Chain A
């Protein structure tokens, strides 16, 4: 066919455009992706494959399953399909919509981290006498004759060109040669910041179901990533507790199984002792984040309250996240079942402590992890309380 070139091979171009839009959508929907299993279990791979649905096109459409016609034997009342999404295509009538098609997009993990953690920072970070945390930045400090074209210093290049021409008696721009080119060169620049030690406490008691633990783990996963990404040197301490608390290595922390009762004060106590031994408050900014389902042994609550009050005197910030989410039980229309339980005993005990640097967050859905990160890590001014 005699077609203008720009009208050919549209399918390919438009499918690239679709991919582009999917990536934009990922950017916009990080809060949903953040707890995506593929990302959290990526194990340091450079890219993750995220299963995404093909982008929706909105239109007025029916929200209830449409009737359809099939064929074969069977009496009225016989069940054709049952349960959740076993044969989604069937719900939409014959051949009208092909069910929920998904495909995989490959996204560099670094990109996602970057997009997510951009606006976060450790709050109330103070200068302490001995500095250890360092951040890296680049600064253009020098000019050279060779370098990547992207770093071309245009002003100096033109200036040199004029100088060279003027030396020949023609003071104007023209006859650009390699000898005129000047490139900017950068140096790595390290900046020292205040010291920080982060305590991460996780409840590993029997009541922490897989779903709940998953939320806690994804929070800590992003927390660790955030710290490594933004601050080159922070000390991290992982504490897991049921009735007793232990300091555990990082890799064990993310692979803990659960059992036993809950006594949160044990973890606070251990954190207090550990902190006094290793990170004295006068030279360290201490942050403590604790995740639990709040199902604490009631007699233990006063002890918790006392320990947290003690910790608040030493720590720059104490964060407590209570997880109400339990598995991914989504209703037929995509609405999660509505559960609004009352604040559990530990949360109400902690809420009794009115302290500006005590942050309490409730997570009732795995999407709330993003919200928790935002709440805990909003950059805040360092003013004395």
Chain B
């Protein structure tokens, strides 16, 4: 019965214009679900930090505080997991939701270069890291992974996963240009100038710290491979980080849309469906936003507006056409910027909140701990929504220079943000451990003046 109905939903989804990789469903117990959610992939190189997430998630699950309904993997063919304790109608809703997610993976441009065979590659990664643990010991491998995972948000999605080293030091010959009619005058023969290129490492500020360390730090092959594995998996997850709101909104829009057209449900089931749908797209708490809710409401708003404009003859695109374009072209940042309108901010009663005090970011006072509503303006709300979504949610840190073997990093957004000192020193120590020479990072002190934090190599 369930399989048949999933099949019907799939046909319906394709009729409606969704286009997705073949998708298979596995119905699994809650424990497996929790494990999958903690690791992000069914099988992945082991690390205690996943165990930590698993443990706390499991505790929440057992206490009934959270329930993971669905996990879907960006892979071709795609794989989705459903919870065995869910009712059939709940799992049908999730299946409809999943088809839209996979459609999003298939067509959104962020995902164009992702590894569509990650499920299998991650297994290979896990086996390789297990082999390293056997050969070099669990502790060294685990420690190296601590370092890699500390830096895994510092990648450069624009340069991509596969990169060549910077050009070696080389000399560019340039002939001095000969002006017209030079031969008529008594001028010296054209001279040649030499320009040395590739002397500075790195030639430009480098965002991809993991790549830089893999390429230029004195590492063993197994260490380089371990870091590359972490880097590769980080690239795989980056598009998902960047499209959480849009992707969840898109999937929520479509499970509602598909059930609107789907007739093979009893009235009882339809009521349960409506209840579940309402809980999926309900607003978040007072101080948190539910991405399903926000994405869904913006998409519905887009559809309504474009349908109206289309009816008025202002645009050739119907609401549905527009939605498909948005699903292909946008990430969360552009999606919110382009389509979170002033009217919508008012309608959803959104506000930006933050610390009450106004002094530079490094200082602290008793009022720092008071959180107040800072603004209800659309731009302020937008900024507050977008801030944690830039740069993989991490401070903007680049490699700036190598002087006498010492590595100089720079915290680029230091004027507006403040690095947590304890964490920064630990992370610097990690980098110094790989670099095997001192590492410095240029940031601001509490007064907003330039300051280097440093770590010696152990």
A interface vs B, CB < 8 Å?
1, 3-4, 6-7, 9-18, 20-21, 54-84, 87, 90-91, 93-96, 98, 101, 103, 331-334
A63→B421 contact, CB < 8 A: yes
Residues in B neighbouring A96, C-beta threshold 8 A: 388, 393
Residues of B within 8 A of A (CB): 31, 34-35, 38-39, 42-44, 46-52, 54-56, 58-59, 123, 126-127, 130, 142, 146, 149-151, 153-154, 283-289, 291, 348-356, 361-362, 364, 368-376, 381, 383-385, 387-388, 393-395, 397, 411, 417-424, 426-427, 430
Q: List 19 A-B contacts (CB under 8 A).
A: A11-B51, A11-B58, A13-B51, A14-B52, A54-B56, A59-B153, A59-B423, A59-B427, A63-B361, A67-B384, A68-B353, A70-B373, A71-B283, A74-B373, A75-B373, A77-B372, A78-B373, A90-B371, A98-B56
Going nearest first, the 6 A-B pairs with the smallest beta carbon separation are A14-B51, A63-B420, A15-B51, A11-B35, A58-B426, A11-B54
Q: What is the CA–CA distance of A67 and B424 in the complex, to the nearest angstrom? A: 21
CA separation between A57 and B383, bound complex, in Å? 27
Identify the closest chain B residue to A90 (Cβ): B287
In Å, the complex CA distance between A75 and B351 comes to 9
B58 — which chain A residues lie within 8 A by C-beta?
11, 15
Instruction: Using A18-B51, A82-B370, A94-B287 as known contacts, say yes or no to A57 and B150 having CB atoms under 8 A apart.
Output: yes
A54-B56, A69-B289, A69-B385 given. 13 additional CB < 8 A pairs? A11-B50, A14-B50, A18-B51, A54-B55, A55-B48, A57-B49, A59-B394, A60-B424, A62-B420, A64-B417, A65-B368, A94-B284, A96-B393
Q: Is B354's CB under 8 angstroms from A76's CB?
A: no
Q: Are B284 and A64 in contact (CB under 8 A)?
A: no
Contact A77 B419 (CB under 8 A): no
- Give every chain A residue within 8 A of B411 (Cβ-Cβ): 60
Residues of B with C-beta under 8 A to A13: 46, 51
Given A11-B35, A60-B427, A332-B368, answer yes or no on A77-B417 (Cβ-Cβ < 8 Å): no
Chain A residues with CB under 8 A of B351: 69-72, 74, 76
- A88, closest chain B residue (CB): B369
Shortest beta-carbon distance, A296 to chain B, in Å? 33
Closest CB-CB distance, B426 to chain A, in whole Å? 4
Establish whether residues A11 and B38, one from each chain, have CB atoms under 8 Å apart when the complex forms: yes
Q: Contact partner of A62 among B46, B417, B430, CB < 8 A?
A: B417
By the criterion CB–CB under 8 Å, are A80 and B427 in contact? no
CB-based nearest A residue for B363: A64
List residues of chain B with CB within 8 A of the CB of A69.
Answer: 289, 350-353, 381, 384-385
CB proximity of B54 to chain A, nearest CB, Å: 4
Does B287 lie within 8 Å of A70, measured CB to CB? yes
- Of chain A, the residue at the smallest CB distance from B443 is A60
A11-B34 in contact (CB<8A): yes
- Nearest Cβ on chain A to B209's Cβ, whole angstroms: 9
User: Are A10 and B39 in contact (CB-based, < 8 A)?
Assistant: yes
User: Does the CB pair A59–B150 fall under 8 Å?
Assistant: yes
> Are A61 and B56 touching (Cβ within 8 A)?
no
Do B370 and A14 touch across chains, with their CB atoms under 8 A apart? Answer: no
Asked if B126 and A7 make an inter-chain contact with CB atoms under 8 angstroms apart, the answer reads yes
Task: State which of A4, A14, A72 has its C-beta within 8 Å of the C-beta of B46.
Answer: A14
* Among B48, B150, B361, B372, contact of A18 (Cβ-Cβ < 8 Å): B48
- Name the CB-closest residue of A to B396: A60
* B349 proximity list for chain A (CB < 8 A): 71-73
CB contact between B51 and one of A17, A68, A73, A76 (< 8 Å): that residue? A17
B46 to chain A, nearest CB (A): 5
Beyond A7-B126, A79-B372, whether A57 also contacts B287 by CB under 8 A is no
Chain B contacts of A333 at CB under 8 A?
364, 420-421
Which residues does chain B contribute within 8 Å of A18, judged by CB atoms?
48-49, 51-52, 55
- How many Å from the CB of B153 to the closest CB on chain A? 7
How far does the alpha carbon of A21 sit from the alpha carbon of B48 in the complex, in Å? Answer: 8
A189 to B56 Cα, complex, angstroms: 48
Which residues of chain A have C-beta atoms less than 8 A from B426's C-beta? 58
A334 touches B422 (CB 8 A): yes
Q: Are B373 and A76 in contact (CB under 8 A)?
A: yes
Residue of A7, A96, A103, A334 with highest tally of chain B CB at under 10 A: A7
Q: Is the CB of B352 within 8 A of A65?
A: no
Task: Give every chain B residue within 8 A of A81 (Cβ-Cβ).
Answer: 287, 370-371
- Taken together as a complex, chains A and B put the C-alpha atoms of A101 and B59 apart, in Å, by 11
Q: Is the CB of B123 within 8 A of A76?
A: no
Name the distance in Å between A23's Cβ and chain B's nearest Cβ. 12
Residue of B nearest to A101 (CB): B56
CB pair B54 A14 closer than 8 Å:
yes
A54-B52 contact given A60-B394, A71-B348, A79-B356, CB 8 Å threshold: yes
